[in-house]
Chains A and B, each alone.
Chain A
Amino acid sequence: ETGVTQTPRHLVMGMTNKKSLKCEQHLGHNAMYWYKQSAKKPLELMFVYSLEERVENNSVPSRFSPECPNSSHLFLHLHTLQPEDSALYLCASSQERRDTQYFGPGTRLTVL
């Protein structure tokens, strides 16, 4: 079992739906991250949480809403998404903010 898990692994949603992505890390880390990986574009950082406090919001549209209830869990709430939001969404964690990041397997999101 990987140290960082993500659910669901695949998600198909309409533009009017509301869904949430979940990430859980079992490594005792203090920092967690959301990334977006689109086809033919480099991996993009979306949000960074350190000790449950958001320390980075990389100009992400408000239709993406992160939540970090504790240091082990990270959510990404989705609403009124666009087809161009279809991508692989990756969660990662690290012990401290400058340490090696460990990634989950990702959620493949398709917006119809």
Chain B
Amino acid sequence: KQEVTQIPAALSVPEGENLVLNCSFTDSAIYNLQWFRQDPGKGLTSLLLIQSSQREQTSGRLNASLDKSSGRSTLYIAASQPGDSATYLCAVGPLEGAGNKLTFGGGTRVLVKP
């Protein structure tokens, strides 16, 4: 059974500092890995999707890496801003099986202080 862990559970940084968020998963047989952002009481917004054959994906200040063999992904957010304050979730999609049964981590709650 796939298990996804995100450490730390919460993170507070001053504005301008780079953010590094970690995600680990126990089963390396994955199809893809996604990073999402969730604002309090709101739905999820997809940030980046990395296919299992890829090593990283970039979008603006965001960069996500994937090391499938070690079961790890890292989300980097450069030059953090107060608007980056949110909970960040990673989710892995299985290689086998019907549907798109994403397994989510517990999230990292980020606070960027002005």
Q: Are B102 and A101 in contact (CB under 8 A)?
A: yes
Q: Are B106 and A42 in contact (CB under 8 A)?
A: yes
Residues of B within 8 A of A104 (CB): 43
Of A90, A94, A101, A106, the most chain B CB neighbours within 10 A belong to: A101
Q: In chain A between 50 and 104, which residues have their CB closer than 8 angstroms to a CB of chain B?
A: 50, 55-56, 58, 88, 90, 92, 94, 97-104
Query: A108: CB under 8 A from chain B?
Result: yes
Complex-state Cα separation, A92 to B42, whole angstroms: 13
Chain B count of residues within 8 A CB distance of the other chain: 25
Contact size range, A: 20 to 34
Q: Are B43 and A31 in contact (CB under 8 A)?
A: no
Q: Are A103 and B31 in contact (CB under 8 A)?
A: no
Of B14-22, B66-74, B93-101, the segment with at least 4 beta carbons within 8 Å of chain A is B93-101
CB within 8 Å of B: which residues of A? Answer: 2, 4, 6, 31, 33, 41-45, 48, 50, 55-56, 58, 88, 90, 92, 94, 97-106, 108
CB within 8 Å of A: which residues of B? Answer: 4, 31-32, 34, 36, 41-46, 49, 89, 91, 93, 98-107
